[in-house]
Amino acid sequence: MTQPSQVPLSVFDLSSIPQDGGAADAYRRSVELARHAERLGYRRIWMAEHHNLDGVASSATSVLLAHVAGKTERIRVGSGGIMLPNHAPLVIAEQFGTLESLFPGRIDLGLGRAPGTDQATAAALRQRMADPNADFAQLLAELRGFLAPVREGQRVRAIPGAGLDIPLWILGSSDYGARLAAHEGLPYAFASHFAPDYLIPALGLYRETFRPSGQCQRPYAMVAANVVVAETDAEAEYLATSLQQRFLRMIRGKRGRLDPPVENMGEIWTPHEQAIVEAHLRVSAVGSPERVRAQLERIVGITGADELIISCDVFDQAARLRSYELLAGCWELPGAGAD
């Protein structure tokens, strides 16, 4: 049985826009983080498709992935995820075929079915599609068809894309994604960093109903966690208030950029709001290296995760990079001592 600290770690980056910056600053931060994570031995860095969110700059996800991949050398780069119902599957096959051709062996294609935005923006994204309500499983089958080797008589092909070995992942926060990933024999990533309620049932369903495929012979589950590491518990808890403020904005329906940390969240939220935010963020590890290691080992022990993907929404870039460095050290990643 794999020991918790032998479970690989990866990075989830929203390309958050800080209060004192713009999209260009977010992209600079993302590249710095990717290069830092590569040196430290993290397995992959993923970025998510979101639209019409003031504080998130990853809307043109494929373009941003190309930028990050071009600034790194070894780390896997992928989507966590592309919201497939927003797109024609042919377009995604071509985009990721291009990425795989430019950066062979380094690209992951994680797929989700949520819009990644509000309903009005989703309608704007999908208004010219032949069937904006197409079933996610049907869209997945169409995408896989475009990525498969060209068949005799196939009139429409993904060039590039056809015949390329691009690993697919299913993302989810409910039993739907678990069932689909299991049926298709694909690895499954659960968005427990913001939607932890169905984590354990979904993972159980995925493992119980998994059918081996050419890509995966056994279930492979990635679990997302919020992590903030600092020299002391108090410093980490202070830095984590930026993440708490982000979720507080969400439940209040107020969008905005990533806020700097505050000394006292009790002056900002009500007890009811605090309970809601903490429920959303309960798959988290915040504190000193020793405390965080113990918290993550507990998460791995409960979930049986094959991999953890770490989100660290810290306002100060130096503190965010230091958090990933401290985590790599306490988790004993292979490149943790790299300069």
What distances in angstroms separate CA 299 from CA 4, 181, 192, 199, 285, one per listed residue? 9, 22, 11, 11, 9
- Rounded to whole angstroms, the Cα distance separating 34 from 46 reads 9
Min mean pLDDT across 126-140, 148-162, 257-271, 277-291 is at 126-140
User: What pLDDT does 53 receive?
Assistant: 83
Confidence band of 315 (pLDDT split at 50, 70, 90): very high
* Domain, as residue range, for 249: 4-331
Averaged confidence pLDDT in the chain? 93
Span 270-279, mean pLDDT?
97
Asked whether residue 339 is assigned to any structural domain, the reply reads no
What distances in angstroms separate CA 130 from CA 134, 135, 273, one per listed residue? 9, 12, 41
pLDDT at 2 over 90: no
Contact assessment for residue 190 and residue 224, using Cβ atoms and an 8 Å cutoff: yes
Q: Percentage helix, strand, coil, to 5, in the chain?
A: 45, 15, 40
User: What pLDDT does 52 receive?
Assistant: 87
Asked whether residue 338 is assigned to any structural domain, the reply reads no
Asked whether residue 148 is assigned to any structural domain, the reply reads yes
Span 245-271, mean pLDDT?
93
Asked whether residue 24 is assigned to any structural domain, the reply reads yes
In the three-class reduction of DSSP (H, G, I as helix; E, B as strand; rest coil), residue 13 is classed as: strand
Over residues 66-103, the pLDDT tens digits come to 999 999 999 999 999 999 988 999 999 999 999 999 99
Percent of the chain with pLDDT over 90: 84
**How many structural domains comprise the chain?**
1
Could you tell me the CATH number of the domain that includes residue 141? Answer: 3.20.20.30
- Rounded to whole angstroms, the Cα distance separating 226 from 327 reads 12
For residue 109, which phi and psi values (nearest 5 degrees)? -120, 95
What is the Rg, in whole angstroms, of the alpha carbon atoms belonging to the chain?
Answer: 19
Q: Which two tokens stand for residue 4?
A: 């918790």
CB-based burial label for 120 (10 Å; 0-12, 13-18, 19+): exposed
The whole-model pTM stands at: 0.93
Contact assessment for residue 74 and residue 40, using Cβ atoms and an 8 Å cutoff: no
CB-based burial label for 193 (10 Å; 0-12, 13-18, 19+): buried
Asked whether residue 67 is assigned to any structural domain, the reply reads yes
Over residues 106-156, the pLDDT tens digits come to 999 999 987 655 677 667 766 655 554 568 999 999 999 999 999 999 999
Over residues 182-230, the pLDDT tens digits come to 999 999 999 999 999 999 999 999 999 999 999 999 999 999 999 999 9
3-state SS, one letter per residue, for 54-65 = CCECCCCHHHHH
Confidence band of 1 (pLDDT split at 50, 70, 90): very low
The beta strand positions in 238-299, using DSSP E, are: 284-287
Q: For residue 272, how many other CB atoms are within 10 A of its CB?
A: 9
Span 299-305, mean pLDDT?
97
Span 289-305, mean pLDDT?
97
pLDDT at 244 over 90: yes
- Rounded to whole angstroms, the Cα distance separating 151 from 281 reads 46
Asked whether residue 337 is assigned to any structural domain, the reply reads no
